[in-house]
Chain A
Amino acid sequence: MSLDPADNRAAPRWTWKRLVLGRRPKVTLIRAAAMLVLAVVVFKFVLIPVRVDGDSMEPTYRNGSINFINQWAYRSHPPRRGDVVAVRYAGKSIMLLKRIIALPGEEVAIVRGQVMINGRPLQEPYLKNPAPWQLPPRRLETNEYLVIGDNRTMVQSQHLFGAARADRIVGKALW
């Protein structure tokens, strides 16, 4: 066993500073700053993190689950039927998570729980035991989408749904 103090000097000194900042602290800090800027830009302007609050989208989205809203989803094409979208109130602090079931200009109605688009029944495989909701026929404006939650077992009067203007649709749920 050697007790030569020179050996101690040669051995690497794994201090906390070294562990956190690495061998080149300046490069590490620049990388960390770049990552921070990237995260802020991505999560503010592209993907908004959201927590689902409520049961109007069950069983597709459980209360308390986490998702992201892709704000760039509709840059190349307009929203499509079946897309799950976030609809804003005055801003993006609180949004409604709903599914698009009817597109601009279409006539939509609900007859005993069955959604009818231009008089034809809409196939909705994501639904479980829909209650007999009723909605008289109405034609959507050229900038309106009819959005509704997947939980149609709820009492209709307690479920917020209706026509959303295109400018209120913030983006599409990532999954």
Chain B
Amino acid sequence: MVKARLINLALLVLVAGLGVFLWSHFFPNEEKRVRKCLEGLQEAVSFEAGGSLAGTAADSERLRSLLAPDVEVEVEMPGGGREAMSGRAEIVQAAMGARQYLRGLKVELLDVAVQVEPGKDRAACSLTAKATQPGDRDYVVQEMRLELVKQDGQWRLRKAAAIRPLKL
């Protein structure tokens, strides 16, 4: 009797867990949608050497769809100095143009923390971006602070700025 009850309880917990998983999968909350957007950005700017033109075009279109029209990006350049870019077209052009000079690029977004504003149409993120070129031992690391906005039901990057962990 007790054993049967325990089995029923275990089954109930299992079904409830499955229900929560399916619900969050098909109806993700805003934080998950923001994280999905960041994953998309990470994939759109990463590429392998010898990629096809069609692949580059697809990545370009994907990147464009994940950027707000008035997007602003400010990054630290290797060796010092900051580079600022603004506007969707300029950023997509810079990201795709870099493919001509690099043998591939793997971008990873680590330690992502997302904070969605109460209105659920703006979000702030902090993360560590790591960029590696295949075959290179060295990599570039930058802490970034991002602002995302929800436009037409989709989260898009509005602003990205590099943060220095050490200040001089």
Contacts and interface: CB of A to CB of B under 8 A. Distances in A.
Contacts of A94: 110, 128, 130, 141
B144 to A, nearest CB: 8
Given A93-B110, A94-B128, A162 B168 contact: yes
B79 A90 contact: no
In this complex, the interface size class of chain A, counting residues with CB under 8 Å from chain B, is 20 to 34
Interface residues of B, number: 20
Interface string B124-168: 001110100000001001111000000000000000000011111
Contact of B79 (A54, A135, A157): A157
Going nearest first, the 8 A-B pairs with the smallest beta carbon separation are: A91-B111, A162-B166, A93-B110, A89-B128, A162-B168, A89-B143, A90-B128, A90-B111
Nearest to A141: B167
Instruction: Among A90, A96, A98, find the residue whose CB has the most chain B CB atoms closer than 10 A.
Output: A90
A87 interface: yes
Nearest to A54: B138
Given A94-B141, A157-B79, A157-B80, A168 B165 contact: yes
Contacts of A91: 110-111, 113, 128
A158 interface: yes
B165 A87 contact: yes
Nearest to B111: A91
Given A89-B141, A90-B143, A92-B111, A161 B166 contact: yes
Main secondary structure of the interface of A (DSSP, over half): mixed
Contacts of B144: 90
Interface of B: 79-80, 110-113, 126-128, 130, 138, 141-144, 164-168
A123 B94 CA distance: 47
Given A90-B143, A92-B111, A157-B80, A164 B166 contact: yes
19 contacts: A54-B138, A87-B165, A88-B165, A89-B111, A89-B141, A89-B143, A90-B110, A90-B111, A90-B113, A90-B144, A98-B166, A138-B168, A147-B166, A157-B80, A160-B166, A161-B166, A162-B164, A162-B167, A163-B166
Interface of A: 54, 87-94, 96, 98, 135, 138, 147, 157-158, 160-164, 168
Contacts of B166: 87, 96, 98, 147, 160-164
Contacts of B79: 157-158
Contact of B168 (A54, A135, A158): A135
Given A89-B111, A89-B165, A92-B111, 17 more contacts: A88-B165, A89-B142, A90-B110, A90-B111, A90-B126, A90-B143, A90-B144, A94-B128, A94-B141, A96-B166, A135-B168, A157-B79, A158-B79, A161-B168, A162-B166, A163-B168, A164-B166
A98 B130 CA distance: 19
Instruction: Among A94, A158, A162, find the residue whose CB has the most chain B CB atoms closer than 10 A.
Output: A94
